[in-house]
A and B are shown apart, each in its own frame.
Chain A
């Protein structure tokens, strides 16, 4: 158990370090001099040289990497070229939009998918199962940003129930803020829920064929109890794996969805940064999201041990 946890932890850390090297290398090979970019075309070569020294751009590559990576650890990402404020301040402002959005979507997707999976698996081959699986087949095929456009058309333009976009900020109160995250999170969640429901169904069907399920039924446990207590728990491993993967997709998805709803999150930040060639911001946000993906996958690995006692006793 400890060996398993340790191994996963080391792998996650090594992946994180390698990922940071990749991101740093990308920053390095980008054409253009950040100092020249900040000072503009009219700056003299001397001025540029002074700023390069100030920014530490003339130090050896390895040293610069260590400096940058060390900065990341203390949440010092450097300063934005265009906003001239620390990148971390920009990120802090935006992450309070993106993270709740991803989490609400993840929760929604799970709440919808697990019952659908349970329903379909327990009625395998019947009409209800066929209809549910047909619906998920559609759900998998729908791009979330198109679904978002259709939701806007229906609920914001036509029915006028919710705002079509924008974000009032959490200071405007929890409810107005949540209300503006409602459509985006539904748009993100439903396509993911379709995938998750399919995985949950096939995992459950696999488990329901096991001998211990028959034993549990034979000793007189009601079907419902068998389904929830025995089957669902044993089907959790593939479901958790997909949930971890989905979080990565959801984070990437928020980047696109934020652009549909004009939400001031990390996604908007990164696209503005791309058009303004504010590379340090692009790099920081990418690094943050990659770190989040690695962290979530580590959590998934660790939760296997919680869900599956067999893993705990094994070396």
Chain B
């Protein structure tokens, strides 16, 4: 199978060289890698056990023993943030997977066929778009009750039209190109052309959108678990920690400050990473964003 990717002049070495000069890529990469490393580390080791309640240590301010303080059950905030990272990453990642897995084939198919099929698919897209993730989550929770799975489904559904749009727009820009015409002349059908030529050429766009949706997914998951529609206790989640902190702002502001900073850092890292990738692989796309 021969793949035609539209950036053939750029060798891997040149792309890497550009990557190491790109500030937002580097900062984003470091932050994202750090968050991922913390999540992985939490499986092996956390400073304290997050399932053990030590009431005598409750709402302690940050100290050497507890860097980020403790919550109202005496649990170590730092340890909870570490374990919470798993939940945030898992929910957002699977939601991006759902959005890409369903949305990209839809969008690419719509672009390949055009006409009525395109119109119908894009209108279905409009329909899903009318339900913000929070509203879907509310409905799903109303049926099945709250839980992390619902958060994944709700955010995933919301991601589908986003990826469908990006894939369709990207594919529509590739279809009129000469090498597609050549592939057609060689007798390839539209499905084969989509797989062999369209998808590799819109991979950059999808990767960039993927990091953006990943970041939005982290924010959405935090919002859902904050209002009790996401991960349920005792599983620590960043949103839930903020909910617990809300009524204790006066006595223990650190309970709110640190989980929030974890969210901001993660989302910031992913956004910078996405900007950086867009900039390195396709300098033109940055202008359009």
Task: Tell whether A pairs with B.
Answer: yes
Binding site for B on A (CB under 8 A): 11, 14-15, 18-19, 22-23, 26, 29-31, 137-138, 140-143, 145-146, 149-150, 152-153, 157, 198, 202, 205-206, 248-249, 251-252, 255-256, 259-260, 270-271, 274, 277, 279, 282-283, 286, 289-290, 293-294, 297
B135–A286 CB distance below 8 A: yes
Q: How far is the CB of A32 from chain B (nearest CB, A)?
A: 10
Give the interface segment out of B35-43, B54-62, B246-254: B246-254
Interface string of B252-265 (1 = CB under 8 A from A): 01001101100111
User: Mostly helix, strand, loop or mixed at chain A's interface?
Assistant: helix
Chain B residues within an 8 Å CB radius of A282: 138-139, 142
Q: A15 touching B130 by the CB < 8 A rule?
A: yes
In the complex, what residues of A have CB within 8 A of residue B260's CB?
142-143, 146, 149-150
Q: Which residue of A lies closest to B272 (CB)?
A: A137
Q: Which of A274, A290, A297 has the most CB of B within 10 A?
A: A274
Q: Is the CB of A152 within 8 A of B249?
A: yes
Looking at the complex, which one of B131, B256, B267 makes contact with A149 (CB distance below 8 Å)? B256
In the assembled complex, which residues on chain A have CB atoms less than 8 Å from the CB atom of B141? Answer: 274
Residues of B within 8 A of A23 (CB): 139
Q: For chain B residues 203-237, which have a beta carbon within 8 Å of chain A?
A: 215, 219, 222-223, 226-228
Q: How far does the Cβ of A246 sit from chain B's closest Cβ, in whole Å? A: 11
The interface centre, meaning the residue of B130, B131, B228, B271 with most chain A CB atoms within 10 A of its CB, is B130
Residues 270 to 289 of chain B near chain A (Cβ within 8 Å)? 271-272, 287-289
Flag whether B182 is at the interface (Cβ < 8 A): no
Q: Is the CB of A294 within 8 A of B267?
A: no
Contact of B126 among A15, A202, A289 (CB under 8 A): A15
Choose one: B139, B215, B249; the contact of A141 (CB below 8 Å).
Answer: B215
* B264, A141: Cβ atoms closer than 8 Å: yes
A271 CB to nearest chain B CB (Å): 6
Cβ contacts under 8 Å, B271 to chain A = 137, 140-141
Pair B139/A286 contact, Cβ less than 8 Å: yes
Least CB distance from B131 to A in Å reads 6
Report whether B139 and A270 are in contact in the complex, using a CB–CB cutoff of 8 Å.
Answer: no
Inter-subunit contact A149/B143 (CB<8 Å): no
Q: With A137-B268, A141-B271, A143-B219 as given contacts, are A274 and B132 in contact (CB-CB < 8 Å)?
A: no
Contact present for A22 and B134 (CB under 8 Å): no
Shortest distance from the beta carbon of B150 to any chain A beta carbon, whole Å: 12
Q: Which residues of A contact B263 (CB under 8 A)?
A: 141, 143, 146
Beyond A22-B127, A152-B249, A157-B249, list 18 extra A-B contacts (CB 8 Å): A15-B127, A31-B143, A141-B265, A141-B271, A145-B222, A146-B263, A150-B260, A153-B253, A153-B256, A206-B287, A252-B134, A255-B134, A255-B227, A274-B142, A282-B139, A286-B138, A289-B135, A294-B130
